[in-house]
Amino acid sequence: MSTEKRINYQASNTYSTLNKLSADTQRIWMVFHGMGYLSRYFIRHFKNLDPVKNYIIAPQAPSKYYQGPDFKHVGASWLTREDTVNETDNVLNYVEGVWQAELAHTNCELIVLGYSQGVSIATRWLAKYQRRCDQLIIHSGGLPKELTAKDFSHFQETTKVHYVFGNSDPYINQDRLDLERKRAEALFGSVQERPFKGAHVVNEEYLLQI
């Protein structure tokens, strides 16, 4: 009979940044990629933002894997249904480590963006560590079922929450849209819904508007 055991060990992980954090920085973005991305590629979606005023931080999902039959491209996933509770703790501890390394002593406007699978990590991190942000962008992803409005009671009344999605996204039909809208309103109250013409892609144009 096999027995599954568990050990604790120290690990490290990378993350990517874009532009420089300086006295001229006005906005800091914490951006969480979707499944299949690497942070150094995902962060390119933010290259058109003013490089002087915007500093972007992209955490890296720890579980990397080869994509496709030729084994040339590498992607990553934040979580799976396997050992989810423990893996969530590991991931959120890592994200908090990135925050402590980069943002613990800054007073800039903070924008948190989760794209696709990254929505679940962004919102769980904000909830677990009671981190505030000035804007939260829920982009083409689903909110975790276990979160409640109490998890975000630390949010300021001025925090803006955006729900961004493509009107031809194959993962978001009308039933899913209605469900996510209800979840978002239950968690945050007022939510700015921002549909755009497109599929399951990052809406770079909307990022410039923000």
pLDDT at 104 over 80: no
Give the angle subtended at the CA of 42 by the CAs of 109 and 183, to the nearest 5°.
Answer: 65
pLDDT bracket for residue 138 (50, 70, 90)? very high
Q: How many structural domains is the chain composed of?
A: 1
Q: Does residue 1 form part of some domain? A: no
Q: Does residue 7 form part of some domain? A: no
What's the rounded mean pLDDT across residues 202-206? 94
Q: Does residue 172 form part of some domain? A: yes
Pairwise CA distance, residues 167 & 97, whole Å = 36
Residue range(s) defining the domain that contains residue 31: 15-209
pLDDT confidence of residue 200: 96
Q: Does residue 64 form part of some domain? A: yes
What's the rounded mean pLDDT across residues 71-94? 92
pLDDT confidence of residue 103: 86
Say which CATH number the domain at 156 has.
3.40.50.1820
User: How buried is 129 (Cβ within 10 angstroms: 0-12 exposed, 13-18 middle, 19+ buried)?
Assistant: middle
Q: Does residue 10 form part of some domain? A: no
pLDDT confidence of residue 210: 83
What's the rounded mean pLDDT across residues 47-71? 94
Measured from the Cβ of residue 124, the count of other Cβ atoms closer than 10 Å reads 23
Residue 184, token pair as written in the block: 């978002």
Q: Does residue 5 form part of some domain? A: no
pLDDT at 72 over 90: no
Better-predicted residue by pLDDT, 70 or 174: 174
The widest CA-to-CA distance across the chain, in whole angstroms, is: 62
Q: Does residue 201 form part of some domain? A: yes
Q: Does residue 72 form part of some domain? A: yes
pLDDT confidence of residue 194: 93
pLDDT bracket for residue 190 (50, 70, 90)? confident
Residue 8, token pair as written in the block: 């604790």
Give the tens place of pLDDT for each residue, 111-137: 999 999 999 999 999 999 999 999 999
Measured from the Cβ of residue 175, the count of other Cβ atoms closer than 10 Å reads 8
Q: In which residue are the tokens 């990397």 written? A: 64
User: How buried is 20 (Cβ within 10 angstroms: 0-12 exposed, 13-18 middle, 19+ buried)?
Assistant: exposed
Residue 118, token pair as written in the block: 């990254």
Pairwise CA distance, residues 4 & 148, whole Å = 32
Give percent above pLDDT 90 in the chain: 85
pLDDT confidence of residue 147: 97
CA dihedral 132, 135, 138, 143 (to 10 degrees): 30
pLDDT confidence of residue 106: 84
